[in-house]
């Protein structure tokens, strides 16, 4: 997500804005920029790369007392200087956080303007400039923006010749900080804590006018609105996690939003889906390749794409695939999955496939990353910045993306009809219901955290979920775990089951339900501590010590609910074990070495 900081006051603005942007680094970014007023003129400096890169290119002590700054986490258009913020059009300079869904329509209507960037944000600047020319009063412009913009936005605005900051938000975060010496706008509280802990919250479509010694907030109709001045209690570190104890928990709780953001990007209607996924139906065989969780989600993708797309799917870990010999079909696709888009082995697979003349597709989170840039086609997920080393929300968005690919192939081949869209539309509510009550996962964590080994059992798509659940548990809680195909246990590993060994069985598919339950009975007969996660009541009470029920959904989306339960189990076990949950020992967020 992008970061916004603005300051107007008696002190120089540049140091305050840069310091605020640095405190928002946790939001992730690929470029940074600042606009500030000197002798009634707006000066802009913006650079790709880190804030330190920006600092090297400006005079931090320049006499300027009003300015706005931005760190960009690219959503529209690759990371580069032209696409970075602030954007100036005519007399208007803006910084923007959010996604304008109708920016192409607006761009066509603003035909008098020449656009230099690929961004939706520059279109907003042009719209504000056009309306300002008509209205002559920025407040009238801001009260009208909601009639033009569809999507999310937090805007900081400077007007040439004006020494105020104008700010408005809808669905993207923005707060108004106040202090004796000046006033701030910021995406998040940490950005102002060095100077003040006093702030106002503004609601959707409310807007604010900040001068050096005053802040006026207006409601969506342009009427002055009185607000309670809030005081942030706590450290900057606490503020960056929005009050969650760990980034991992914060990101688990971001899943309802980011999963829906990813869904909306692709299935607002059938035409959008077909446009984004057009051509996938031509492939005879697909190799899905990734590392760690990206590999595990590929196994879920295999199950769904083969079932609904009737296309053969092979799944492999990148570090093996890149050194293997491959027999490619005429219409073969290599689909690489990577949250960071920088994983060395996965990037190597992509490059080798391209050398071999094979079509490549990437599912990536970080816009403009190496894998995203080099793949023939990229499907971005909208997970936002993921800080915790253990992926949660990115994995879930990757799963949903693979589900939508399977759904597209199913619709395209007539195996599914468009009513299937309904299965995706209330996912956020169902996930929120799970997140609202974590007592079951917390009690499972309390049952197993002292053990040395935990087994996950499942068949088919449930086995793929077991693989990811087991990795989550291992990497954040250091508790050894193994995922096993339920039917495979009796071919050797059941020898490890003894009294009290925790076995977590995942059962969501009807055609294997009874089979897996009989495997559960086998481990129970050997004294296992049995936890069953399923989507139907289990009548035989002897097969579990703890039962976790999730709603029964279409198998295109059902496993999302199970994996979130398992993410929470891993999180609470790690918490009970006192582990460094966001930065587990020996691990890095992006493995850019082989």
- For residues 75 and 346, which CB has a smaller minimum distance to ligand AGP in the complex? 346
Residue 535 or 567 with smaller CB distance to ligand AGP: 567
Residue 273 Cβ vs ligand AGP, minimum distance, rounded to whole Å: 24
432 touches 563 (CB < 8 A): no
Shortest Å, Cβ 507 to ligand AGP = 24
DSSP 8-class letter at 224: B
Residue of 2, 291, 397, 466 with catalytic role: 2
Closest distance between ligand AGP and the C-beta of residue 295, in Å? 8
Q: Strand order in 546-549's β-sheet?
A: 480-485, 453-458, 502-507, 529-534, 546-549
User: Of the two residues 97 and 340, which places its CB atom closer to ligand AGP in the complex?
Assistant: 340
- For residues 575 and 244, the answer to whether their CB atoms sit within 8 Å is no
Write down the least CB distance from residue 440 to ligand AGP, Å. 22
CA dist., res. 590 & res. 291, Å (int): 11
CA-based radius of gyration for the chain: 26
Please state, in angstroms and rounded to a whole number, the distance separating the CA atoms of residues 100 and 103. Answer: 5
**Position closest to ligand AGP via CB:** 292
Contact residues for ligand AGP (CB under 6 A)?
291-294, 338-340, 343, 346, 389-391, 475, 590-591
How far apart are alpha carbons 6 and 166 in whole angstroms? 10
Question: Nearest-CA neighbor of 239 among 203, 298, 293, 199?
Answer: 199
Angle at 493 between CA 491 and CA 499, to 5 degrees: 125
- How would DSSP label each residue in 129-178? HHHHHHHS-HHHHHHHGGGT--B-EEEEEEETT---EEEEEEBS--EEEE
Residue 168 or 390 with smaller CB distance to ligand AGP: 390
Name which of 106, 107, 19 is nearest 71 in CA terms: 19
Is 397 catalytic? The answer is no
Tokens 């539309």 -> residue = 425
Written in H, E and C, the secondary structure of 251-262 is HHHCHHHHHHHH
139 is an active site residue: no
Minimum distance, C-beta of residue 383 to ligand AGP, in the bound complex (Å):
10
Q: How far is the CB of 359 from ligand AGP (least distance, A)?
A: 20
Nearer to ligand AGP, 400 or 409 (CB): 400
Closest to ligand AGP by CB, 35 or 364: 364
For ligand AGP, the closer of residues 351 and 415 by Cβ is 351
Residue 368 CB, nearest approach to ligand AGP (Å): 14
Q: For strands 453-458 and 92-97, give the pairing.
A: unpaired
Catalytic amino acids? 2, 589
């Amino acid at each position: 997500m992008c970061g916004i900081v603005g300051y107007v006051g008696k002190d120089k603005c540049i140091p305050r804005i840069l310091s605020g942007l640095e405190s928002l680094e946790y939001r992730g970014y690929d470029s940074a920029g600042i606009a500030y007023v000197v002798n009634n003129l707006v000066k802009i400096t913006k650079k790709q790369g880190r804030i330190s890169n920006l600092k090297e290119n400006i005079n931090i002590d320049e006499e300027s007392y009003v300015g706005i700054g931005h760190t960009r986490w690219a959503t529209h258009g690759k990371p580069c200087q032209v696409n970075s913020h602030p954007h100036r059009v005519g007399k208007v300079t803006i910084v923007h956080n959010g996604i304008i869904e109708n920016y192409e329509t607006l761009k066509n209507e603003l035909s008098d303007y020449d656009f230099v960037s690929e961004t939706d944000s520059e279109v907003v600047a042009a719209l504000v400039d056009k309306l300002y020319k008509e209205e002559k009063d920025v407040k009238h412009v801001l009260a009208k923006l909601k009639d033009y913009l569809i999507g999310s936005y937090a805007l900081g605005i400077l007007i040439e010749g004006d020494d105020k900051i104008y700010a408005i938000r809808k669905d993207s975060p923005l707060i108004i900080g106040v202090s004796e010496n000046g006033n701030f706008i910021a995406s998040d509280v940490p950005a102002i804590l060095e100077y003040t802990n006093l702030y106002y919250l503004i609601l959707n479509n409310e807007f604010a006018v900040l001068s050096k010694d005053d802040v006026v907030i207006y409601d969506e109709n342009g009427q002055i609105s009185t607000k309670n001045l809030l005081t942030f209690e706590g450290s900057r570190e606490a503020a960056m996690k929005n009050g969650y104890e760990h980034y991992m928990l914060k990101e688990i709780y971001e899943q309802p939003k980011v999963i829906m953001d990813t869904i909306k990007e692709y299935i607002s209607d059938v035409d959008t889906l077909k446009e984004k996924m057009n051509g996938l139906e031509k492939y005879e065989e697909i190799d899905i390749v990734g590392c760690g969780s990206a590999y595990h989600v590929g196994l879920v993708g295999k199950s769904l794409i083969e079932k609904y797309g009737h296309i053969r799917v092979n799944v492999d870990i990148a570090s093996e695939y890149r050194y293997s010999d491959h027999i490619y079909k005429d219409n073969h696709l290599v689909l690489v999955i990577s949250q960071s888009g920088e994983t060395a082995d996965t990037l190597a697979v992509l490059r080798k496939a391209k050398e071999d003349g094979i079509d490549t597709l990437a599912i990536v989170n970080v816009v403009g990353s190496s894998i995203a840039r080099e793949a023939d086609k990229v499907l971005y997920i909208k997970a936002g910045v993921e800080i915790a080393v253990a992926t949660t929300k990115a994995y879930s968005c990757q799963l949903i993306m693979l589900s939508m690919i399977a759904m597209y192939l199913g619709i395209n081949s007539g195996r599914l009809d468009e009513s299937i869209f309904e299965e995706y539309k209330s996912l956020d509510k169902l996930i929120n219901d799970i997140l609202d009550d974590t007592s079951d996962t917390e009690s499972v964590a309390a049952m197993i955290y002292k053990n040395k080994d935990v087994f996950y059992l499942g068949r088919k798509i449930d086995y793929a979920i077991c693989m990811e659940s087991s990795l989550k548990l291992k990497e954040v809680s250091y508790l050894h775990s193994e995922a096993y195909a339920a039917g495979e246990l009796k071919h050797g590993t059941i020898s490890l089951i003894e009294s009290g060994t925790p076995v977590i069985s995942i059962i969501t598919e009807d055609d294997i339900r009874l089979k897996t339950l009989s495997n559960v009975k086998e481990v129970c007969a050997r004294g296992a501590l049995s936890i069953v996660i399923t989507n139907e009541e289990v009548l035989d009470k002897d097969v579990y010590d703890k039962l976790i029920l999730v709603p029964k959904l279409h198998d295109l989306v059902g496993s999302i609910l199970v994996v979130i339960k398992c993410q929470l189990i891993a999180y609470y076990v790690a918490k009970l074990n006192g582990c460094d949950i966001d930065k587990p020992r020996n691990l890095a967020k992006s493995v850019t070495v082989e």
